[in-house]
Structure 1
Amino acid sequence: MAPLPWATLFVIAVCGAFTPKAAAQSSVVLWGVADSAVRHVSNEGRGSVKSLVSGSNSTSRLSFRGTEDLGGGLSAGFHLEHGILLDTGAPASSTQFWDRRATVSLISRPLGEVRIGRDFVPSYSNWSRYDPFGYVGVAGSNNFVSATPVGPIRSAYGSGVNTTVRSSNAVQYLLPGGLGGVEGGAMVAAGEGGTAANGQHKVVGARLGYAAAQWGVSAAHTRTENDLTLAGTHQDSAIGAHLSLAVVRLSAAYRQFKYDQARQRNLLIGATVPVGSSGEIKASYTRVDLSGRVGATVIDANDAAQIGLGYVHSLSKRTALYATGSRIGNKGAATYAVPGGPSGLAGGGNSTGFEAGVRHSF
């Protein structure tokens, strides 16, 4: 019998140290979100489009998660999450069934969690928590990431799946609770010799934060390499803070994407105001500033700003009605647009959107 490699022996030793004497209870939960809205988007000089869309307040999804208590403060868990386009019934991804999340975990109450599989990257987890609109809909800060024109993101990923939100093939370590408000984790992902066109990237990232009763601050950094990043790594950094008062929750965040000589800086300022016991007003201002160059193309003048305003009215703990409006103003050759509008927006043009819908959780 050939000797086992040192890495294999180490894994066996660690798993053996965590092995309990007796197993305990387990549970599996099926849950999801059904969210759909009527949307109207107008792009300057290109007309308007009316449509039925999915996931404008919270992404429509079907999810399974479960845990098993292994005893001795140790548990195992899994989380599988499938995105749904409620307006058509089609999967949100044409290539990945569990596109939103597919992970298995080993969790120790005093030591933390080791999580393996497809999940959010640290920079996205850090940035999205400060967006009042949750990175979705006509006013989400995602409008300045998923619709990026010539800049660092397109240069590093082309038209393939990028790691500004999630990464496949990832291994994470997450800090345990009970650290006096300190929270965070680290992620590494293998590219597996694949290509950016197939969504395969090498990723290294980390996040660290502190959360008190009424305020919190956190920062994260994620580095990505693939077959397109010949000039170095794509770097994604995010920092933010929030303050929760009796009448308003304020948030501010800064995110920077950098690759080669191109840089994109995003600034987000948000506010959420409760209205009675069942209502909530949301507002945000998001700005994007491009600088540097892509090849011979200078992108310094290609900036944009977005203003968003919305209202959510809860009919119950699981059902809510909502309405949201936003406007994007571009400068230079920037062509950021509210999603769902007519194509062909000219550089420097404006884009305006409004939607109203219903969200039900089950």
Structure 2
Amino acid sequence: MNRSEKKLALAACAVAGAFGAVPASAQSGVTVFGVADTSARYVKNENVGSLKSLASGANSTSRLGFRGVEDLGGGWSAGFHLEHGILVDTGAATSATQFWDRRATVSLLATALGEIRIGRDFVPAYVSWARHDPFGYVGVASSGTFVSATPVGPIRSAYGAGGNTTVRSSNAIQYLLPSGLGGVEGALMVAAGEGGTAANGQHKLVGGRLGFTHPRFGVTVAHDRVENDLTVLGSHTDTVAGGHLSLSFMRLTLATRQFKYGNAKQTHLLVGATVPIGPGEVKASFNRVNLQGRVGATSIDANDASQIGLGYVHALSKRTALYTTASRISNKGAASFAVSGGPAGLAGGRDSTGVEAGLRHAF
């Protein structure tokens, strides 16, 4: 061995010794997961006829995802979560512009301190609201039907016809409280608009949620404030309060949600029930929306609507289920909320009815 080779060998030994003094990093694992859910759907809109179709994600949104966590030692860990929406009926992606449209985050977690999560994720108000919807915010009975930019109201005024942040936000940084706080849970989120516009879905958001959960009951409150190039009258706000009661034979939920922008206000009331029956469960909900105030010179006081949903889910195994759901929306005034998947052009004050039956498989 010449002098140069000896120097390289000594250097290699020194590096190896230095790394030997540091605990070896834990092995990280990656989990592949997803849902394939499709249904046959029939929707009738009172003044424009009916439409039969195959739909995707009517019981649980169809998706493909990857997630992983690495133990860094000392109670610290790092993780990621990537989730892509799929339309099982056509094989297409849910979004034409975002591949990881459902979630794309990277996290640093500490057992005692909580989690810092960065990337695209659910906004605090949605998290607090959706947990009270027996239908999981999907399908013909989804409470999300009333969270629409189509009718004249505060949501359309603040976001236009483009994407909004009533469900998710991109460019977000979150702090989530750690578990083990005696049932207290919560999160804070800040999202940058990055100089974008409402047309391309870029919005500035500040929001938070706080709740208390127990095996038998729980309560939660949340508030989001959003600004973009259209919100010249001030911030668009989204406020949620709700609670649930879990009995041996039934789970009951009650929640309210209010959107405000300028002189317009949109208030939701959601009452839900889930009753286990053998290998399945019966679901029911009542959802009402009340619009108040003005959009420009147009009064929206008479534009109210209500929705009744009823469904049954029959578990064939831990991962596979059959389901059926029915829903009816009654509009008043100029309100034209419609069940998803129906023919376009529902007139104000007309009713919309939907029925579906499908198969869901999780992996």
What interval of TM-score do these two structures reach, taking the shorter chain for normalisation? over 0.9
Q: Distance in 1 between matches of 2:23 and 2:290?
A: 57
Counterpart of 2:12?
none
- Indicate the residue corresponding to 2:347 in structure 1: 346
Counterpart in the other structure of 1:199? 201
- How far apart, CA to CA, are the structure 2 residues paired with 1:348 and 1:160? 24
Structure 1 residue 46: Cα displacement? 1.1
Q: Which amino acid aligns with 2:360?
A: R
User: 1:214-262 CA distances to partner (integer Å, 9 max, x unpaired)?
Assistant: 0000000000000000110000000100000011000000000000000
Matches within 5 A, 1:311-330: 311-330=312-331
Q: Which amino acid aligns with 1:31?
A: F
Q: Does the 8 Å contact 1:22/1:71 carry over to 2?
A: no
Which of 1 and 2 has greater Rg?
2
Q: 1:247 aligns with which of 227, 246, 249?
A: 249
Deviation at residue 147 of structure 1 after TM alignment: 5.5
Change (3 A) 1:147 1:158: closer
Determine if contact 1:330/1:349 at 8 Å carries over to the other structure: yes
Partner residue, 2:179: 177
Per the TM alignment, residue 124 of structure 1 is displaced from its structure 2 partner at its CA by 0.2
The percentage of aligned residue pairs carrying the same residue is: 72
Deviation by residue 1:49-102 (Cα, 9 ceiling, x = unmatched): 000000000000000000100000000000000000111110000110000000
Partners of 2:178 and 2:275 lie apart in 1 by: 31
Partners of 2:95 and 2:45 lie apart in 1 by: 26
**TM-fit CA distance, 1:25:** 2.3
| C-alpha deviation, 1:162, in angstroms | 0.2
2:120 pairs, out of 118, 121, 136, with: 118
CA contact (8 A) 2:82 2:100 kept: yes
Aligned partners of 2:208, 2:256: CA distance in 1, in Å? 16
Displacement after TM superposition at 1:109 (Å): 0.3
Alpha-carbon spacing, 1:147–1:315, altered in 2? closer, same or farther (3 Å): farther
- Find the aligned partners of 1:352 and 1:147 in 2 and give their Cα distance: 20
Instruction: Give the match's secondary structure for 2:158.
Output: helix
Displacement, 1:146?
2.8
Which deviates more from structure 2 when the two are superposed, residues 145-154 or residues 311-320? Answer: 145-154
Which residue in the other structure is 1:301 paired with?
302
Give the superposition deviation at 1:304. Answer: 0.1
The residue type paired with residue 233 of structure 1 is: S
Matches within 5 A, 1:39-50: 39-50=41-52
The 2-side partners of 1:103 and 1:263 are apart by: 32
Q: CA offsets per residue over residues 116-154 of structure 1, 9 Å max, x none?
A: 000000000000000000000000101101364000000
CA contact (8 A) 1:56 1:137 kept: yes
SS of aligned partner of 1:33:
strand
SS of residue matched to 2:157: helix
- Counterparts of 1:256 and 1:148 in 2: how far apart (Å)? 17
1:303-322: CA deviation from partner (whole Å, max 9, x where unpaired)? 00000000000000000000
Which residue is 1:265 aligned to? 267
Partner in structure 1 of residue 189 of structure 2: 187
> Which residues of 2 match residues 43-58 of structure 1 at below 5 A?
43-58=45-60
1:5-84 equivalent positions in 2, closer than 5 A: 22-84=24-86
Which aligned runs of 4 or more in structure 1 are off by greater than 4 angstroms?
none
Structure 2: how far apart are the matches of 1:87 and 1:38?
10
Root-mean-square deviation (CA), in Å?
A: 0.8
Match of 2:100 in 1: 98
- Partner-residue secondary structure (3-state), 2:288: strand
- Give the gaps of 5 or more residues in structure 2: 1-21
- Look up the match of 2:284: 283
Letter in 2 for 1:356: A
